[in-house]
Chains A and B, each alone.
Chain A
């Protein structure tokens, strides 16, 4: 019975703190799954995927680099030049299985070091802030839904929808409330009284619909304890996406990357959450995993040098991960700019050599099969950022 299923899910996500993690989902006319993980706060790409083969690395940041591969708590090797942070063991297993690929020295569309401007541009997919996000425009550009759910396009978990998934394609959201809900007839009266309001009217109508919808696709078996909110939410996302009539597109957010101080212990904790979350996504997706591609992205990287408080400040180039059963992984994709003298941007940051929009376009074209004309609308004025090929298994 629907109510029982929903109650079970409430039990799961009641543990989810809504401050720094969230999930938004959208339906799409495809069997492919595409998930974007936004890492808010700026991930230090050179700490997640360490270029230990670069001779200039130790001089810049030796005090925060983990031991070499093969040593205790050492890097997890990625083919002899790069090494994965030791907290990313699940991701390393996926790499070894040919299902994960770091893309290094990437950056979003802008060269600003403001979190908020850069996040907006990253999610807009443009050099300026737009009112919609590129993932929403991608959903909107796909052919109309042919399923039995006439309005059914999207839901979000968490109390707000990230810019990435805002726009003309309908996105609602769902989250645990843990409070006795009004009886159905009172809900109906509330919806009627709000009908005329352009903001609260559609929001309440959509909220009611999503709760019913969520109840029907959520599985029973989700109330297992998890140490962290992000893995729990990722697991729920995977299970929702796995359902035959479930959504196909998801955006997850995870914060805590702004490591200005004491980076080594702080980053370890959040990398562990990310790693557990990516593994939970895979488990939740189950037999839909071979149809799945996941992109992780962050607004910018961090300074190549350690700052004065054992952290790093806002930088530029960083790393993105492309993973999933559909991904042609098992290698690092990088046009590595080097860290030696004169190679750093403004003598401080990893020089970006790949536009994140190219990676995103590569997934839209080769994974979702979107035509070039549609891609141009999703990422306006981005002709120089050609779609990356070779991300997806042939």
Chain B
């Protein structure tokens, strides 16, 4: 394996799976993943109809936690998502899906767990190589986001529903959409812009009993009149929100913000300015085409310099299990969801709407590293009769250091050898 192949598998992918065939040309392998349809097949595929049914059933029967349909659904869907990551032949796409899911964070607390994976499958995955505007639109109209950031019950103070003064505005979604999803504080918007955008988004709500359940615009709750957001006037009605999202998605500062986040994820914790500028240019010139931006990332020299990023717990656990490539039955026994929670990164459950950090310092606290070490030792018990030295070479290629290989060869047991491989710094990095 040459260095570029190793880098393609590790930096852009999720780590090599067992002895899977190596790509003949790593750049082409990555590009083809972006151009071909998403090959993942989740069974059953999470969707809003199932989510709404579970949510309504729990609301009606108020079950004990162990009998909750929402909880059972969330567990089985997370398992399917993670199993897909362990087996997908298009790991670059999967990493992009993770990236955008984190950009548009929702957190699976309470009823939101019911739709947390449907949200991925309906709002994120279909758009990872499409236009940013389409993803933003799908996110902002998805019931899970409308509930997570409290827009579903937001009512215009001068709307018909707001006339009696009992209900009114909630600005949470409007604020986080500006700050975290689109233009970022660098655009210099004000509190008046936040309030105005919140008014524009009044009426953007949920119909859980629809067929299928999903977005519903409620004119009764919509604040009348046109509203000014960042110097632009937007008309009343649902189309005002649509136009505002179109404006925000294509704002130059949004492109800059997204470019910086992509470079941060794929190149280095301190994003090189020229790389950011390049990706920003691609987003601008293609009207926010995320597939084009992803492909441009693979053409940057800086992206092929190994080891600049620390694997997050999710990266680390998935790369480990791909390296071990357990038989289906054994793979099914591993509680990946529980492990991720124990290592501090529970799936679809970031503590705040800004999602998981992409900076090594936030993941390299001593105890966090110790937990990785301990889990590595635990999972290494599953190494079986594999030859760990050849597994190490197959997985890391030229990135494998002599010291590590020597320690692996000298280890007293296969389990110890596997632990040393998994905890070596070159395996912690991507």
Residues on A close to B: CB < 8 A? 18-20, 40-41, 112-117, 156-161, 166, 172-175, 177-182, 186-187, 189-190, 193-194, 196-197, 199-201, 203-204, 206-208, 210-211, 255, 260-261, 306-309, 311, 313-314, 346
Number of A-B contacts (CB under 8 A): 164
Q: Are A204 and B351 in contact (CB under 8 A)?
A: no
Contact with A along B227-263 (1 / 0, CB 8 A): 0000000000000000000000000000000000000
Q: How far is the CA of A117 from the CA of B167 in the complex (A)?
A: 29
Asked if B84 CB lies within 8 Å of chain A CBs, one says no
Q: Can you name 26 A-B residue pairings with CB atoms under 8 Å?
A: A18-B344, A40-B352, A113-B194, A156-B367, A159-B344, A174-B366, A174-B367, A175-B371, A177-B374, A179-B371, A186-B416, A189-B407, A190-B423, A193-B424, A200-B364, A204-B369, A204-B370, A260-B172, A261-B150, A307-B171, A308-B155, A308-B162, A309-B167, A309-B170, A311-B150, A311-B170
B389 → A minimal CB distance (Å): 15
Asked if B373 CB lies within 8 Å of chain A CBs, one says yes
Q: Are B365 and A160 in contact (CB under 8 A)?
A: yes
Q: How far is the CA of A181 from the CA of B370 in the complex (A)?
A: 9
- Interface hits, B406-429 → A, CB 8 Å: 407, 416, 419-420, 423-425, 428
Asked if B179 CB lies within 8 Å of chain A CBs, one says yes
- Interface hits, B350-399 → A, CB 8 Å: 351-354, 360-371, 373-375, 377-378
Q: Which of A175, A200, A313 is in CB contact (< 8 Å) with B172? A: A313
Q: Are B367 and A194 in contact (CB under 8 A)?
A: no
Cβ contacts under 8 Å, B378 to chain A: 179-180
Q: Which of B171, B362, B377 is in CB contact (< 8 Å) with A186? A: B377
Q: Which 5 A-B pairs have the closest CB atoms?
A: A308-B168, A207-B366, A159-B344, A207-B370, A197-B425
A35 → B minimal CB distance (Å): 20
Q: How far is the CA of A314 from the CA of B375 in the complex (A)?
A: 40
Q: How many residues of B contact A (CB 8 A)?
A: 55
Q: How far is the CA of A159 from the CA of B356 in the complex (A)?
A: 13
Asked if B404 CB lies within 8 Å of chain A CBs, one says yes
Asked if B290 CB lies within 8 Å of chain A CBs, one says no
Q: Are B344 and A160 in contact (CB under 8 A)?
A: yes
Q: Are B167 and A181 in contact (CB under 8 A)?
A: no
Q: How far is the CA of A203 from the CA of B369 in the complex (A)?
A: 7
Cβ contacts under 8 Å, B319 to chain A: none
Q: How far is the CA of A173 from the CA of B428 in the complex (A)?
A: 19
The A interface is mostly helix, strand or loop, or mixed, namely loop
Q: Are A193 and B420 in contact (CB under 8 A)?
A: yes
Closest to A349 in B: B191
Residues on B close to A: CB < 8 A? 150, 153-155, 157, 162, 167-172, 175, 179, 185, 191, 194, 310, 341-344, 346, 349, 351-354, 360-371, 373-375, 377-378, 403-404, 407, 416, 419-420, 423-425, 428
Q: How far is the CA of A174 from the CA of B366 in the complex (A)?
A: 7
Closest to A175 in B: B367
Q: Are B170 and A307 in contact (CB under 8 A)?
A: yes
Q: Which of A114, A159, A314 has the most CB of B within 10 A?
A: A159
Q: Are A181 and B369 in contact (CB under 8 A)?
A: no
B187 → A minimal CB distance (Å): 12
Closest to A20 in B: B351
| Given A199-B364, A307-B171, A186 contacting B352 (CB threshold 8 A) | no
Q: Are B185 and A114 in contact (CB under 8 A)?
A: yes
Q: Are B373 and A210 in contact (CB under 8 A)?
A: no
Cβ contacts under 8 Å, B403 to chain A: 193
Q: Are A307 and B364 in contact (CB under 8 A)?
A: no
Q: How far is the CA of A186 from the CA of B374 in the complex (A)?
A: 11
Cβ contacts under 8 Å, B150 to chain A: 260-261, 309, 311
Cβ contacts under 8 Å, B361 to chain A: 166, 199
Cβ contacts under 8 Å, A197 to chain B: 425, 428
Q: Are A313 and B428 in contact (CB under 8 A)?
A: no
Q: How far is the CA of A203 from the CA of B155 in the complex (A)?
A: 49
Q: How far is the CA of A307 from the CA of B349 in the complex (A)?
A: 26
Given A159-B343, A160-B362, A173-B368; 5 other pairs, CB 8 A cutoff: A41-B352, A157-B367, A189-B407, A308-B170, A314-B171
Q: Are A19 and B171 in contact (CB under 8 A)?
A: no
Cβ contacts under 8 Å, A189 to chain B: 407, 420
Q: Are A313 and B170 in contact (CB under 8 A)?
A: yes
Q: Which of A115, A173, A175, A182 has the most CB of B within 10 A?
A: A182
Q: Are A182 and B419 in contact (CB under 8 A)?
A: yes
Q: Which of B155, B171, B343, B373 is in CB contact (< 8 Å) with A182? A: B373
Q: Are B169 and A177 in contact (CB under 8 A)?
A: no
Q: Which of B157, B168, B191, B354 is in CB contact (< 8 Å) with A113? A: B191
Q: Are B420 and A172 in contact (CB under 8 A)?
A: no
Q: How far is the CA of A255 from the CA of B168 in the complex (A)?
A: 25
| Given A172-B366, A208-B370, A308-B154, A199 contacting B360 (CB threshold 8 A) | yes
| Given A207-B369, A261-B150, A200 contacting B428 (CB threshold 8 A) | yes
Q: Are B367 and A210 in contact (CB under 8 A)?
A: yes
